Amino acid sequence: MLKGRHLIDPEDFSLEELDSLFALADSIIKDEDSFRNLCNGKILATLFYEPSTRTRFSFEAAMLRLGGQVVGFSEPGSSSVMKGESIPDTIRTVGSYVDIIAMRHPKEGAPKYASYYSPVPIINAGDGGHQHPTQTLTDLLTIKEVKGNFSNLTIGLCGDLKFGRTVHSLIKAMSRYENIKFVLISPNELRIPKYIKTEILDGKAIDYAEVERLEEVIDSLDILYMTRVQKERFFNEADYIRLKDSYILDREKLKLAKKDLSILHPLPRVNEISYEVDEDPRACYFDQLKYGMYIRMALISKLLGVM
Ligand code: CP
């Protein structure tokens, strides 16, 4: 039962609860018209303290497509946050007006903190370099649609594995399934945080390897999850400039890959996937962003208890 729950961490939901979300998303994809009035009279607030295109628009489009309405801000400068209002007071206020809140914040743990004060469900729409659970739901739905299941996969995660919160959430989520191997491809400075290794990979005895060169391992991958280097999380611009083009996936590198490789990317992309790759049938990232809206439609419906 997901009614009234918060979604803060990818592991907040059981595998059975995730299956029920994917099944609902699949039904919506197949017959969206049947779900048009599901959220009539309900209101979603999108509180985005950090920039976003996909997450905010897909949440808002999801609610509107379900017949609900949307309020919120896309940057906190237009709200009383600028006058110094705290997260608890903002959440108590907004929670008195709406039925559900999606919140993105640069500080790790901010949505969890908000959930302690919220009278309505809080959805973490990304907290600093920490977690991005609805991107993970998007990634999982994409994997289910393109691979048919979540087991027996070798998943390459490439790019900024230090600051890339989508990667942290995806490792957490996929490590719950059978016979998953991760290949972690990054420059030395952008390796996966130690806590992910000790708590999840070593903690659950998951098979993984860390390498620096994509060309060395691309032929072994079933899924290649590319990420951009996260400029906004660097303290030093010179470091960002040095590392930003560490990986550029192009046609030449793809010649080494499996014919049934699936290329995912949470987007936005900067330089890490050449535009020529968009034409390759293995490129799934534009389907992936559409699945993001459908899984958010399913999530909103379940948390509001209308499905
Ligand atoms: N994938 C993702 O979170 O994109 P946005 O930052 O545009 O929301």
DSSP summary character for residue 235: S
270-276 average pLDDT score: 96
CA 58 to ligand 1: nearest atom: 8
Question: pLDDT band at 242, cuts 50/70/90?
Answer: confident
Answer yes or no: are the C-beta atoms of 59 and 296 closer than 8 Å.
Answer: yes
What residues contact residue 198 under an 8 Å CB cut-off, 6+ apart? none
Q: Work out the angle at residue 217's Cα, subtended by the Cα atoms of residues 290 and 259, and round it to the nearest 5 degrees.
A: 55
Overall pTM surpassing 0.75 (yes/no): yes
**pLDDT score recorded for residue 230:** 83
105-112 average pLDDT score: 96
Please confirm, yes or no, whether 65 is among the known catalytic residues. no
Ordered structural domains, the chain, with CATH = 10-131+292-304 (3.40.50.1370), 134-289 (3.40.50.1370)
- Angle between helix 133-147 and 15-30 (nearest 10): 70
Nearest to 157 by CA among 178, 175, 177: 175
CA 267 to ligand 1: nearest atom: 1
* pLDDT(170) > 90: yes
Nearest CA to ligand 1 atom 6: 52
CA 53 to ligand 1: nearest atom: 7
**pLDDT score recorded for residue 240:** 83
Question: pLDDT band at 63, cuts 50/70/90?
Answer: very high
Distance 108 CA to ligand 1 centre (A): 16
Catalytically annotated residue among 6, 46, 55, 144: 55
Answer yes or no: are the C-beta atoms of 12 and 6 closer than 8 Å.
Answer: yes
Question: pLDDT band at 239, cuts 50/70/90?
Answer: confident
**pLDDT score recorded for residue 142:** 98
* pLDDT tens digits for range 190-237: 999 999 999 999 999 999 999 999 999 999 999 999 999 988 777 788
Q: Which residues line ligand 1 (CB under 6 A)?
A: 52-55, 126, 135, 266-268
**Beta carbons within 10 angstroms of residue 232's beta carbon:** 11
**pLDDT score recorded for residue 49:** 96
Three-state DSSP at 82 gives: helix
Q: For the purposes of burial, counting CB atoms within 10 Å of the CB of 210, is it exposed (0-12), middle (13-18) or buried (19 or more)?
A: middle
Distance 13 CA to ligand 1 centre (A): 22
Q: How far apart are CA 178 and CA 215, in angstroms?
A: 26
Return mean pLDDT, the chain.
96
Identify how many contiguous H helices and E strands the chain contains and give both numbers. 11, 9
In the chain, % helix, strand, coil (3-state, to 5) comes to: 45, 15, 35
Distance 205 CA to ligand 1 centre (A): 31
CA 138 to ligand 1: nearest atom: 1
- Tell me how long the chain is: 307
29-50 average pLDDT score: 97
CA 266 to ligand 1: nearest atom: 1
What residues contact residue 158 under an 8 Å CB cut-off, 6+ apart? 185, 186, 214, 224, 225, 226, 227, 247, 249, 272
Distance 63 CA to ligand 1 centre (A): 17
Q: Work out the angle at residue 216's Cα, subtended by the Cα atoms of residues 137 and 173, and round it to the nearest 5 degrees.
A: 15
* pLDDT(263) > 80: yes
* pLDDT(36) > 80: yes
* pLDDT(34) > 80: yes
Please confirm, yes or no, whether 132 is among the known catalytic residues. yes
Test site for ligand 1: of 46, 58, 135, 141, most ligand atoms within 8 A of the Cβ: 135
Please confirm, yes or no, whether 83 is among the known catalytic residues. yes
Report the DSSP beta bridge partners of residue 7.
123
**pLDDT score recorded for residue 238:** 86
Its sign, for the CA torsion 129, 229, 103, 91, is positive
Test site for ligand 1: of 47, 50, 52, most ligand atoms within 8 A of the Cβ: 52
Question: pLDDT band at 253, cuts 50/70/90?
Answer: very high
**pLDDT score recorded for residue 245:** 86
**Backbone phi and psi for residue 5, each to the nearest 5 degrees, phi listed first:** -80, 160
* pLDDT(25) > 90: yes
* pLDDT tens digits for range 130-139: 899 999 999 9
**pLDDT score recorded for residue 173:** 96
**pLDDT score recorded for residue 234:** 76
Answer yes or no: are the C-beta atoms of 224 and 249 closer than 8 Å.
Answer: yes
Catalytically annotated residue among 6, 42, 65, 104: 104
* pLDDT(117) > 80: yes
Q: How far apart are CA 175 and CA 201, in angstroms?
A: 8
